[in-house]
Structure formats: structure tokens, C-alpha cells
Amino acid sequence: MSSKGEKNLAIAFAAESKAAARNAAFAQKAQAEGYSQIARLFRAVSDAESVHARRYLMLMRGKIGSTEENLKTAFKNEITANEDEYPKLIKDAVEEGLKPIEKAFSQSRDVEDRHAELYKKAMNDMLSERETVYYVCQVCGYIAEDSPPENCPVCGAVKGKFKKVA
């Protein structure tokens, strides 16, 4: 495939991924405001945009490997985000005095570290076939194993803010 084709797939993947996340957030807002039908529409469009993003990702050479390769890639990406990307974002937010943004970036950085731990554990446990239930903090994205904590160790959210992932 041409480098232009690869570049365009990457652009389309990023755009569809952002659209999926944005529409999911729009759905939450519509639901909170009592517009359940509009929330359903936003969720449906979010899902459709995710279909597009996955399709483009599958067409991008070398982006999806074996499960073992994918775990290694995911682990590496979390470390990079934690060590290289978020520190710069946090620094800029501090310099601009943007406390809420600084807090969001700091919590995301801390959660990326947890994600890396989980990926490393999964790589080590790959053959053990251990069944784990995950709970995701809907405030900061922290992931707990087996049961949600009383309070999120990153943002302090209460147990009820954790969503079970089957």
C-alpha cells in the first residue's frame, strides 16, 4: 500500500475514533438531560463510528498482531504515554494555570501506569487462563480487578462509579 494510503487510513482511524468518543459523551449528556431517544441515537452513531475505526485499523499494516504482540504493544504504549506524553501536557497545564486540565492529565497519567501493570500481568499470566473481572472507574478510567474498591485510588470516586466490564 502506498504511504499516502497508509497516512489516509491513520487520519481516518483517528477521526472515527474521536467521533465515537465524542458521540458517546453526547449520549451521556442527552441521557442526563432526560432525552433518552436522542441518547440512543448518539450511542448508535458512536457504535457505527467505532465500526469504521476498527475497519480502518484492520486495514493498516502491522497494527494488529497476535495477542502476545498486541499485549506488548499496548504495554509499550501505556509506558510511553505515562513517561513521555503526559508529563509534557501536565507541564503546559501548570504553566498556564489550568488546574482542572492539570488534574485530568495527572489522573490519566496515573491510570496509564495502572493499565501498563495490568498488561504486564496479562503477559505473565497468558497461559494460566485466569478469569478476571474488571471494573472501570467512570470518572478517571482506573481499572480494578475482581471487585471495585470502596474509593478509587486515583480520583477518590466512590464504589458506585465503577462499571463492570464483562
Stretch 116-131: mean pLDDT: 85
Model confidence pLDDT, tens digit, residues 124-155: 888 777 788 999 999 999 999 999 999 999 99
Domains held by the chain: number: 3
63: pLDDT confidence band, cut at 50, 70 and 90? confident
Residue-range definition of the domain harbouring residue 139: 132-166
Instruction: State the average pLDDT for the chain.
Output: 93
Residues 126 and 136 in one domain: no
CATH number for the domain that contains residue 20 = 1.20.1260.10
Distance (Å, rounded) from C-alpha 5 to C-alpha 91?
Answer: 35
Residues 103 and 138 in one domain: no
Residues 42 and 96 in one domain: no
The total of other beta-carbon atoms located within 10 Å of residue 96's CB is 10
Q: With 90 as the cut, is the pLDDT of residue 8 above it? A: yes
12-44: b (≥16 Cβ within 10 Å) or e: bbeebbebbeebbebbeebeeeeeeeebeebbe
